[in-house]
Amino acid sequence: MLRTHYANEIKPEMDGKEVVVAGWVHEVRDLGKIKFIILRDRSGLVQITGKSETTDEKILKKMNLVKESVVTVKGIIKRERQARNGVEINPVEIKDLNPVSVKIPFEVTGKVPADIDVRLDHRHIDLRRIETQAIFEVRSEMLRAFREKMIDMGFQEINPPCIVSAATEGGTDLFPVEYFENRVFLAQSPQIYKQLAVIGGMDKVFMVTPVFRAEKHNTTTHLNEIISLDMEMGFADHNDAMNVLEDVMKHIFSCVKDKCPDSLKLLKSEITVPKKIKRFTYTEIVELLNKEGERIPWGADFNKEQEKKMAELLGEEIFFITEWPTKIRAFYSMPKEDKEEICYAYDLMYKGLEIASGAYRVHLLETLIKQLKSRDLNPDDFSFYVDAFKMGAPPHAGFAIGAERLTMQLCNKENIRECALFPRDRNRVMP
């Protein structure tokens, strides 16, 4: 039996029509003369109703299924006010495609809460939860909207390598990889390569790419493998890049709000599309927090609690933090001409969490070498990158959005692991 319809396509006005649905047994109820199966597929739920006076006895016996059984059901649609969505299917044929042979590790309906580690250990089961599917519907729409807006604005999609010969952002938090006779690393960012694409004349590029961070975090907002939504544009500065990021975020918010209302309702999440995203300097934020009792020396980064507090104090759900201390940003962030201790880097904060960052890049050779050396990095280790700036590099800027963090905030979740299909953190490399 080939499926003819998904659950959400079964409507009362189709009364009397024969259909075939397929999916998992979400619930089973036996009331004696009447038996119910709630069938679940990726689109939702539909009720299968068998009655002793109208349904073949063999079919009624087949309805005694174990939860999470994989089945196809052929039946006749019947308008029924008391049924889910005002419609049910009276079965004429049921096939159990692969009988369940072990106990399902937790209740997929959500009636009995399950620990997140148990759910992630059996992620293929957790993905069957309606709430989990709602998260990934939102994530999918977010990714689609990002690509759509970038293309609409004239950007070209590229695919940078994930294997690199040196750190792209400095530091030692890299995963080493054996690569024939060489020791290489998993990329912590596509930064160098998207800059080279712009220097190469591609001018406006974007990418959706995995990146890897060998940082020993164990928090609810960090993963060691993430998907980065990156943009780089030539003949532009930080303000130009922030304008693009603002337009992208507005489009993402609008699309998710419009296309995923049921999922957002299920996740108890509300999305407000901002008219304008305000910009505050790092110094203004430090002064504001210190005025409210924090003790943050100028030049220090913010912790998680301070990020939440600044959002409350500003009364802004989403905002930029601009003009960061040069020493705590990546070497490729352009210092101010008249005040080198400050650079043209920025972060985008959303609901108390950093979800994106970017900068006006260093495109001047002398400044680039100086910046590398100030981080105790050897310019010779970046020769293929540094040499490109000797051959006509335009001013350029860009940003990177963390897909999992943005999904987490859109879906009103507390743990980023729920927003990665198969999350990778310090302890989890399976499944």
Query: What b-and-e string marks burial along 397-431, b requiring 16 or more CB atoms within 10 Å of the CB?
Result: bbbbbbbbbbbbbbbebeebbbbbeebbbeebeee
- On whether the CB atoms of residues 26 and 69 are closer than 8 A, the answer is no
The confidence band for 20, taking pLDDT boundaries of 50, 70 and 90, is very high
Sequence-ordered list of residues with C-beta below 8 angstroms from that of 135, at least 6 positions apart, any chain: 263, 267, 407, 411, 413, 418, 419
- On whether the CB atoms of residues 357 and 402 are closer than 8 A, the answer is no
CA distances 204 to 102, 200, 407, Å, are 52, 11, 25
For 201-260, write each residue's pLDDT tens digit.
999 999 999 999 999 989 999 999 999 999 999 999 999 999 999 999 999 999 999 999
Per-residue pLDDT at 381: 86
CA distances 380 to 170, 377, 384, 387, Å, are 13, 9, 9, 10
Does the structure show a pLDDT above 70 at 16? yes
CATH classification of 7-96 is 2.40.50.140, yes or no?
Answer: yes
Q: Is 387 exposed, middle or buried (0-12, 13-18, 19+ CB in 10 A)?
A: exposed
Per-residue pLDDT at 170: 61
Strand partners, 364: none
* Sheet architecture: strand order including 176-179: 163-164, 182-186, 176-179
Does the structure show a pLDDT above 70 at 23? yes
Helix axes 130-152, 403-410, angle to 10 degrees: 120
| Total-model pTM | 0.95
For 388-402, write each residue's pLDDT tens digit.
999 999 999 999 999
Q: What is the C-alpha to C-alpha distance for residues 263 and 360, in angstroms, rounded to an integer?
A: 37
Mean of pLDDT over the chain: 96
For 152-203, write each residue's pLDDT tens digit.
999 999 999 999 987 666 656 899 999 999 999 999 999 999 999 999 999 9
3-class SS at 129?
coil
Record: fold of 125-419:
BirA Bifunctional Protein; domain 2 (3.30.930)
Q: Is 202 exposed, middle or buried (0-12, 13-18, 19+ CB in 10 A)?
A: middle
Residue type for position 87: V
Nearest C-alpha neighbor of 67 from the set 26, 103, 10, 30: 26
At residue 352's C-alpha, the angle toward residues 347 and 358, to 5°, is: 10
DSSP sequence for 207-254:
EEEEEE------SSS--SEEEEEEEEEES--HHHHHHHHHHHHHHHHH
Sequence-ordered list of residues with C-beta below 8 angstroms from that of 123, at least 6 positions apart, any chain: 421, 422, 431
- On whether the CB atoms of residues 197 and 232 are closer than 8 A, the answer is yes
Q: Which element (helix H / strand E) includes 195? A: helix 191-197
For 107-160, write each residue's pLDDT tens digit.
999 899 999 999 999 999 999 999 999 999 999 999 999 999 999 999 999 999
Q: What is the C-alpha to C-alpha distance for residues 324 and 345, in angstroms, rounded to an integer?
A: 6
Per-residue pLDDT at 176: 93
Spell out the domain ranges in the chain.
7-96, 125-419
- On whether the CB atoms of residues 239 and 226 are closer than 8 A, the answer is no
Which residue carries 């409507």 as its tokens? 11
- On whether the CB atoms of residues 159 and 207 are closer than 8 A, the answer is yes
